[in-house]
Structures are given as C-alpha cells and as structure tokens.
Amino acid sequence: MDMIFIELQKHSDTPLYLQIYNQIKQDIIDGKFPVGMKLPSKRRLEEFLNVSQTTIEMAYDQLTAEGFIAAEPRKGYFVQAIEELAYVQPVKSEMPASVPTATPVQYDFSPGSIDTENFPFTAWRKYARDIMDTAHAHLLLLGDPHGDIELRQEIRRYLYHSRGVDCTPDQIIVGSGTEQLLPLIIRILGEQACYAIEDPGYLMTRHVFSENSRQMIPVAVDEDGLDVKALQRSNATIAYVTPSHQFPTGTVLTAARRTALLNWAATNPEFFIIEDDYDSEFRYRGRPIPSLQSMDKGENVIYLSTFTKSLMPSMRIAYMVLPPLLLDAYRQAFIPYSSSVPRIDQHILARFMADGQFSRHLNRMRKIYRRKMHVLTTLLRSYEPAISFSGDEAGMHVLLHVHTEATEKELIREALQSGIKVRGLETYRVTPAPSSPSFLIGFGGLSEEEINIAVPKLLEAWNIKKAAAPD
Amino acid sequence: MDMIFIELQKHSDTPLYLQIYNQIKQDIIDGKFPVGMKLPSKRRLEEFLNVSQTTIEMAYDQLTAEGFIAAEPRKGYFVQAIEELAYVQPVKSEMPASVPTATPVQYDFSPGSIDTENFPFTAWRKYARDIMDTAHAHLLLLGDPHGDIELRQEIRRYLYHSRGVDCTPDQIIVGSGTEQLLPLIIRILGEQACYAIEDPGYLMTRHVFSENSRQMIPVAVDEDGLDVKALQRSNATIAYVTPSHQFPTGTVLTAARRTALLNWAATNPEFFIIEDDYDSEFRYRGRPIPSLQSMDKGENVIYLSTFTKSLMPSMRIAYMVLPPLLLDAYRQAFIPYSSSVPRIDQHILARFMADGQFSRHLNRMRKIYRRKMHVLTTLLRSYEPAISFSGDEAGMHVLLHVHTEATEKELIREALQSGIKVRGLETYRVTPAPSSPSFLIGFGGLSEEEINIAVPKLLEAWNIKKAAAPD
C-alpha cells in the first residue's frame, strides 16, 4: 500500500498524534489493514499529512508499544496479527504515554545529556569484537560480584591519577548506577543514620533516601557550596555532597569548607561523607579540585562516581570506593548478589581504559565541551545584566539567573511555547528560597550551532534584549 | 628477569598461594623487584615451582587486586610503583580473598552454570557491530526506564509463542536481574504483604524478602510441587513459586495444584502469585507446561524470567510482566529511575531475537542439554537403587538422593576431597526435614566428557558401587 488515508482535524482538542494513532489502530482492528501490511515510512507519512516528525513518531511508538505494528530493522513498520494481542486496551481519549506539549521541543537544555557525535565507536567496536569471542567464553558466566578485577584495576588507576583517590581495587564496587549503589550504601550505614542532603540538590538521591525510609535534613547551598556550619548544627550523621560541581547550582565547594566538612566527619566514627563526583572529568578553568576522598585519606569518605558523563549515560556503569571500615560490613551484607553490570561490558571498558583510549577520549571531549561552554557563556554574557550565570568552571551545565518579575513557572512555559525546554531551580529545592528565577542550562547534548540558535531564541522568548554594545 | 626465586614450604600451614603472594609482595616492597619488571607467566611459574595452576592464579590475583602487580593485555604481569599504593595492608596470615580448599575443585556441579562452548559469538558480534555505530549514537543517551520498546516487543513475542504469556509490551519491565526486579515488586505490593516462599527454595529470593523486612512463610514442596493446601491455610497474601521446574527440587507443579493455586489467588484482589520461570526454556520430556500467567489471563500473576539460562548469566537481563492492576502502581512508584540494563545490550539482544537467532540458539542448546541430561541420568541410573534422582524433565540440574547413613555435610566434604563440588539440599531449606542426603547436580557447565568422568568419581568418593548387571 502506497499511502494510508487519515483524516486529521487540525483544530480538534485531540492531539494530532492521537488522531493518527486512533485511526490506524481502528483500521487494524477492523481488518482494513491486513496482517503483514507495510505502513508508510515515518518521513513519508509526515510529508503526506504535513505534520511534525514528533507527531508521527509518537503515533507509531504508541502503536508499536501496544503491538499493533512492529518495526523490522531496515525494512519498516508492519501490521501485526491482533489475535496475538492478549490485552487490547479500549481506546481512551487519554493516552498512557507522555502527553505532548503544544509545541514540540526543538531544543532541550537537559543537564543529563551528552555529546553523542564524538563517541569513539570504532575503538569501542574493536574491543567489543575482541571480547565477544570464544576465547572469552568464560565471560558468559557470572564474575566477581563487586565487578571484575580488570575493570576495578583500571578504575583505581584512573581515580588515582585524575582525582587523587587513594584506594585498592578491593575497595571499589562496580554497579549499574548511582540509583543501584546508593541503596547498598544506605543499608550498610544502618537505619539510624541521618542524611544531610544539599538543598537544592539531586532529586534522584532524595528519592532513594526517602524510598529507603531514611531521615533527611536539607542543608542550604550558597555560592561557596554546602553550608557546613548548618551541617554542624544539624543532627546529620552522613553528608551527601557534590563538591566538585554542585548539582544543580554548579558551585565548587571552597577549600575552607572542604576542610571544615572533613573535620566534621572526623569528630565521630559514625560520621561519613558521601562524595558524589558525578561530572568531575570536565573542568575548564582554575586548578583541579582534589577529591574529598584524597584529602581525607579515605577513612570517612565514600567516593561515588560514574561513566555517565565521561562515556555514556546508557551504559549503566558506576562505582563507589568504600573506606576500609565499611568494606567489611559490605562484604557481609551483600554476599548473595551478583554484579549488576554485564561482564562483557566491564571487559570492553577495562580494555578501552587500559589501552589509554579512555584518557584520550576524555581529553578530546574536554576540548569539545570547553568550546561549547565558551559558545554558551559568550552568548549569555551579551545579555548581562538582565541575566547572570554561575557554575561555568566545570561540568556540562550552568545555572542561569533571570532578573525579572516573572516566575520560574511562567518562564518555563514561555520557553516551551518557543520549543525550548529548560528546568527551573525550584524543582530541586526542598525549602523554597526567595531568589530570581534560575534555570539549569545543560549544553552537553547540543551542538555549537544549536547553542548559537537556541540561546538567543530562549532569551527572545523571555523578551530579554542584548545589552547595548558599549560606545 | 627470567625466573624469580621463591622458597616454598610444602608442608607448612600457610597455603602455597599465600607463601608465593607474601614473598613476591615483600620483594616488591623491598625494591628487589623494580617497578616495571615483568613477572614470569603464570604457566612458567607453575612449572618452575611445580604447583597447581590455581595456586599461581590465586597468588597473582591477590597481588593484582592489591595493586602490587598489574596485567597488561597480551603482555603479562608487571611490577607497579608502590608509592602509588595508598593503602598497603599489613601482611596478614589470613587473606581477605577466598580461602582455598585443600584439594582444588576439578568438577563443579553448579546449578547456576551454563554451556559456554556453544554460544553463537559470530552472530552476537555481528549485531554488536551493527549497533555500536554512529548511526545509533542516540543509544548512548538514556532510553525507556522500563527497557527499550524494541526489546520489550521481542520479549512479548517470545513469551507469547513459547510460554503462552499474554501481555502487551507495556506490561514488561526489563531489569538487570531477579535481584533487581524483585525489590521493585516488593515495594509496589506494600509493606503489609506476606510472602509464601517455597521450602526448599531459592536462597536469593529469601534474602531479598528479608532484606526488605517482608514477612515470609515457608511452605513445603513435595513431589507435586508447592503444597497449595498449606498455602491456603497460611496468612500469606503473595505466593512466590517456580512452577515449571521448582528450584531446587526440580519438581513440576501438577495441573491440579496449578488450578488450586490460581483459585487461591482469585479469592482476594490483594493476593498475587509471583511466577519465577527461571529455566523453562529447556524441557526434555512430556508436553510443555503452560505458564501460570497464561492460565490466569494475567490478572493475578506477576511473571518473572531471565536470559541467564538461555543466553548467559553475565549479561544481566531479566524481565517481569506486571498485571495491569500493578502496572499503574509501578509507574507511579519508580518514575525517577533509569533502566538498569545498558541500552546497547538491549538492542543487540532485540536484533538477535528479531532475526530468529534466539529461537535457533534455544533449539540448538535444548539438544545439547538434552544430551547432557541423558548422559547424566544414564550414568546415575546404573547406580540405583543406592541412589535415586528426580527433576530430570527440564532445566539444567537434577536432584540426587543418596540412600546412606552419612549426612549431607559429610558427603559434601568427601566429594570435595575428590575435587568435586556439590551443593546439598539442606542449604535451601528453612525448615529442616528428615530425608536422605540430597544434592543439586547441575550439568550445564560440564561437557559430556566431564560428566562421564565426574559422576563415577563422585559416587566412588561416596563409596557407592554400580548395581550388578542383571544376569
């Protein structure tokens, strides 16, 4: 079949994608579209119906998700036999999937995205090919529950050279993400532990603590990082911090506060610091900030990091370095669990690191992100003083402050109407704070060209003009 | 340096590997072995010292783990700079790593092992090569938290055709293992839920329930599977069962009990069955046993399975099928978590399945395991009636009963002294039961030749003779 007939009501309350979804689904149920029929490609349907790519994608995704159609790699979408569909949901006006925004998002300043254009696929494939071989058939079986020694050795070497982290490979536990490692830490620290969390801070961490019914005390973050005096006054026994590039404010914990924080932890053998060094790889100005773990000699600091920013978020490899004291407790507590990270992936990564590919990749990406950061901050600067920004020393996002009467919510809505997605700082706060609207501007996933288009578009949406050039 | 000097005291209390470890370590600390020095290969040192491969491996592994030496792929082991070693542990007589048994294990009847000889690496590499490509750069970013749709579709198709499981891809959640999925189920079922567990049963499951402070009621397993009458009398609200091939007894839940179990669950909307279908792929006799989920139409059954047996344990891909009722609860409860399974792996597997490679692999492996099962049971039969066995209709282990006065512990020790590792049934029991010593005889990881050698060796260790051939 060349094209399918779909009648769209462009001014209906029902979103376009839902209209497309409903009509195709009904035609399949009615048998008008026979099993095995090839649907038009997304692009052709998009042109034919004169709708956006996103609209077609959402309709096809939903049909796929519900089993009405299926994608065959490099061939297209085909109608499936619906007798196989055990559970045909009644057509509802509301979709279970994400509800589309009025305007499709064209530019997403997501702080969690990375540059995917420059990933060294060739090298990665090479190591994958080497590992996926009968010579390594033993890697099909379960490995070390803490992560295979080859990978832990490479992580140790990397941590020592790049972050000054002092540890043996024994102290390293590899896991599939901070979400997976943090509950393990929580369990060995016991039910009585009380967690100081940064406010504003990382939402997922807060979720993990609350899901595990742990007591939390929000401690304010200012321009010097976590307010350690407030921590000292609190009942917290564990401090969860992101000292190298605080999430989400981007501040770097000052040297004085680092010392104060370590001194706090040293006052009581039950006190620990969880140092989440989530994006320390990319630092653009100033001298490197040593990890707390390296200052502490590793007795009171649980160091936590991930390959999410440095390689890819979807690989799901993170790790923690346990102080010797906690290592024994850990060993006793989690004996029956296997490592959550696929062994083949561990060995691909270990070789990638051992051959120096990882440090080469980091050096290359540091340059790329530095350039992006430069493009972003140069643009932003031209709008000062109507706006200001901070947190640009490191990482893959800055915090943008808008000096206006409008609220964060209003500005987020205005941005969305221009097809731009930004995240407001308020979402990350436990305690509401009176401050001008602030936004996380993540640039990792955008190209320089996209930054060059999206930033002026965003500020235009907010009706913020460039400062007049000085005479 | 060609060879290193190590003095071994073969009759010392200190294990040989520890003597080797201590001397190399001391020579590195004393500077006798300079940084960068290449150590002799494991094989050469083994020959030179006339010790077992395992001994050298354990010594080198420990030295590696503590950072004194490091392996360079395809080059060998090299002495590392010990200034880099932040945390040089004092030499102890006790090692933190696993303590060696007197006799190295030659044959391990592990129920968790699989055949690694016949893995289709060529096909797997092909899909890996296709996916690890700039054309799929978007796969570096996070995907669907429930698992990418491409994989969930293939799992749905597979489940429908091979297990009669009725579901939409929406109901499927992909995770890195039963260990990771079960806590998620536990949370949505609430704190009041009370879990019936099979006795004897899977240890890891029990650990997860207890770690999550959930109430457990052991329910006995007999030759027909779980005692459903005992379940009905109990206060349990959730039944965790392995109906297709009970772990560890290998029994198949009878049709009458299946119906009774489903009827039990239907008596109360708060009642659910967790059906762990961990090794249903390999069935050798009798007609296929339908999944409980398929009998129930999926309203009261949470179906749980994994690719551990069918592909590899180390890939860490498992999945669950939630009944519609629990799906909403799940969606609300776990919004902030990313999928724990690497996205590239998900797509390699999805293509492997979509192209029919998975079903081909299963058919091939079924033949291989059937042959192994045949070799094993033919051998065992020749020792009857001094022994008996059960659970040979399916899966990758049988349960061996030894009719003797000796205890399980004694027989395990005797087997170990002959270099054979077996696991006793008692370990898997909550409630001690008077029965003859019984052992899990897993054969997945042994070749036919190894089975042919190891079984007579095991029975010889126990002093059990073949029955006289009939006249």
If you write DSSP's letter for every residue of B104-167 in order, what string do you get? --SEE--TT----TT--HHHHHHHHHHHSSGGGGGGGS---TT--HHHHHHHHHHIIIII----
Contacts of A160 in chain B (CB under 8 A): 84, 86
Contacts of B169 in chain A (CB under 8 A): 64-67
CB contact under 8 A, B344 and A170: no
User: Which of B121, B171, B297 comes nearest A134 by C-beta?
Assistant: B121
Alpha helix stretches (DSSP H) within B283-323: 292-296
Contacts of A67 in chain B (CB under 8 A): 153, 156, 168-169
Judge whether B302 lies within some domain: yes
pLDDT for B425: 95
User: Which of A112, A121, A337 comes nearest B133 by C-beta?
Assistant: A121
Q: Is pLDDT above 70 for B336?
A: no
How far apart are the C-alpha atoms of A296 and A314, rounded to whole Å? 32
Nearest one of A396, A389, A377, A198 to A283, comparing CA atoms? A396
Most confident of A34-48, A199-213, B36-50, B403-417: B403-417
**Cα four-point dihedral sign B231, B237, B240, B245:** positive
Residues B390 and B223 sit within 8 Å (Cβ to Cβ): yes
Contacts of A338 in chain B (CB under 8 A): 177, 179, 313, 316
Which of A331, A359, A387 is the last residue in one of the domains? A359
Whether residue A131 sits in one domain with residue A70: no
Judge whether B312 lies within some domain: yes
Identify which has the larger pLDDT, B260 or A37. B260
A227-234 CB contacts, 8 Å cutoff, 24+ apart: A228/A257, A228/A260, A228/A261, A228/A264, A229/A260, A231/A196, A231/A261, A231/A264, A232/A260, A232/A264, A234/A196
Judge whether A468 lies within some domain: no
Judge whether B468 lies within some domain: no
Mean pLDDT of all residues in A338-355: 95
Mean pLDDT of all residues in B418-442: 93
Residues A424 and A408 sit within 8 Å (Cβ to Cβ): yes
Q: Enumerate residues 6+ apart whose C-beta is below 8 A from B440.
A: B109, B111, B248, B397, B399, B400, B422, B423, B424, B425
pLDDT for B13: 63
Which CATH number characterizes residue B7's domain? 1.10.10.10
Place of tokens 């029965």: B435
pLDDT for B75: 81
Q: How crowded is residue B368: how many other Cβ atoms within 10 Å of its Cβ?
A: 17
B230 vs chain A: nearest CA distance in angstroms?
28
Per-residue confidence band for B290, with pLDDT thresholds at 50, 70 and 90: confident
Q: CA torsion, points B386, B110, B114, B176, in degrees to nearest 10?
A: 140
Question: Which of B88, B160, B180, B314 best probes binding to A when mutated, by most A CB atoms within 10 angstroms?
Answer: B314
Mean pLDDT of all residues in B133-153: 95
Residues B176 and B318 sit within 8 Å (Cβ to Cβ): yes
Tokens of A236: 């917290």
ipTM of this model? 0.77
pLDDT for A90: 31
- A124-176 confidence digits (pLDDT tens): 999 999 999 999 999 999 999 999 999 999 999 999 988 889 899 999 999 99
pLDDT for A434: 79
Whether residue A406 sits in one domain with residue A268: no
Whether residue A417 sits in one domain with residue A275: no
How far apart are the C-alpha atoms of A233 and A264, rounded to whole Å? 10
- Amino acid symbol at A274: I
Percent pLDDT > 70 in chain A is 91
Judge whether B326 lies within some domain: yes
Q: Enumerate residues 6+ apart whose C-beta is below 8 A from A229.
A: A260
Identify which has the larger pLDDT, B165 or B100. B165
pLDDT for B90: 30
Judge whether B382 lies within some domain: yes
CB contact under 8 A, B179 and A89: no
Contacts of B150 in chain A (CB under 8 A): 71
Contacts of A139 in chain B (CB under 8 A): 314
Q: Is pLDDT above 90 for B375?
A: yes
Which stretch of A43-47, A344-348, B335-339 has the lowest confidence by average pLDDT?
B335-339
Judge whether B470 lies within some domain: no
Place of tokens 């050039």: A469
Cα–Cα distances (Å) from B90 to A299, A322, B25, B31, B82, in that order, read 16, 18, 11, 17, 14
Contacts of A134 in chain B (CB under 8 A): 117, 119, 121
Contacts of B345 in chain A (CB under 8 A): 342, 345
Judge whether B469 lies within some domain: no
pTM for this entry: 0.79
Rg (CA), chain A: 25
- A109-136 confidence digits (pLDDT tens): 999 999 999 999 999 999 999 999 999 9
User: Which of B116, B143, B338 comes nearest A179 by C-beta?
Assistant: B338
Provide the mean pLDDT of chain A: 88
CA A284 to chain centre: 20
Please, what is the Cα angle at A78 between A73 and A84, to 5 degrees? 110
Whether residue B414 sits in one domain with residue B348: no
Q: Enumerate residues 6+ apart whose C-beta is below 8 A from B447.
A: B117, B372
Which CATH number characterizes residue B257's domain? 3.40.640.10
Strand order in the sheet with A387-390: A387-390, A397-402, A438-442, A423-424
CA A304 to chain centre: 15
- A227-269 confidence digits (pLDDT tens): 999 999 999 999 999 999 999 999 999 999 999 999 999 999 9
A351 vs chain B: nearest CA distance in angstroms?
8
Q: Is pLDDT above 50 for A83?
A: no
Which of B359, B389, B415 is the last residue in one of the domains? B359
Identify which has the larger pLDDT, A73 or B1. A73
Per-residue confidence band for A298, with pLDDT thresholds at 50, 70 and 90: low
User: Which of B152, B298, B314 comes nearest A342 by C-beta?
Assistant: B314
CB contact under 8 A, A313 and B170: no
How many structural domains does chain B have? 3
How far apart are the C-alpha atoms of A382 and A397, rounded to whole Å? 18
End-to-end CA distance of chain A: 65
Mean pLDDT of all residues in B80-91: 44
Q: Is pLDDT above 50 for B312?
A: yes
CB contact under 8 A, A133 and B141: no
Q: Could you give phi then psi for residue B188, rounded to 5 degrees?
A: -75, -20
CB contact under 8 A, B128 and A132: yes
Mean pLDDT of all residues in B427-438: 89
CB contact under 8 A, A125 and B114: no
Whether residue B39 sits in one domain with residue B166: no
Rg (CA), chain B: 25
Which of A359, A381, A396 is the last residue in one of the domains? A359
Please, what is the Cα angle at A130 between A128 and A131, to 5 degrees? 65
B138 vs chain A: nearest CA distance in angstroms?
7
Whether residue A405 sits in one domain with residue A279: no
Tokens of A466: 């460039």
Q: Could you give phi then psi for residue B212, rounded to 5 degrees?
A: -95, 15
The residue range of the domain holding B56 is: 1-99
Contacts of A341 in chain B (CB under 8 A): 176, 316
Tokens of A155: 């992580």
Which CATH number characterizes residue B421's domain? 3.90.1150.10
Whether residue B228 sits in one domain with residue B370: no
pLDDT for B99: 42
Identify which has the larger pLDDT, B91 or A77. A77
User: Which of B64, B121, B169 comes nearest A153 by C-beta?
Assistant: B64
Whether residue B176 sits in one domain with residue B77: no
CB contact under 8 A, B65 and A170: yes
A310 vs chain B: nearest CA distance in angstroms?
11
CB contact under 8 A, A73 and B354: yes
Contacts of A124 in chain B (CB under 8 A): 132
Whether residue B44 sits in one domain with residue B20: yes
Per-residue confidence band for B302, with pLDDT thresholds at 50, 70 and 90: very high
Mean pLDDT of all residues in B449-469: 93
B285 vs chain A: nearest CA distance in angstroms?
27
Q: Is pLDDT above 80 for B211?
A: yes
Whether residue B238 sits in one domain with residue B154: yes
Residues A20 and A49 sit within 8 Å (Cβ to Cβ): yes
pLDDT for A99: 42
Mean pLDDT of all residues in B417-430: 94
Q: Is pLDDT above 60 for A94?
A: no
Whether residue B56 sits in one domain with residue B18: yes
Please, what is the Cα angle at B332 between B329 and B337, to 5 degrees? 120
- A266-279 confidence digits (pLDDT tens): 999 999 999 999 98
Per-residue confidence band for A348, with pLDDT thresholds at 50, 70 and 90: very high
CB contact under 8 A, B204 and A354: no
Which stretch of A51-65, A196-210, B242-256 has the lowest confidence by average pLDDT?
A51-65
Residues A22 and A59 sit within 8 Å (Cβ to Cβ): no
Q: Could you give phi then psi for residue A371, rounded to 5 degrees?
A: -60, -45
pLDDT for A65: 64
Which stretch of A315-324, B293-302, B307-316, B351-360 has the lowest confidence by average pLDDT?
B293-302
Cβ burial, residue A450 (10 Å; 0-12/13-18/19+): middle
Q: Is pLDDT above 50 for B87?
A: no
Whether residue B433 sits in one domain with residue B398: yes
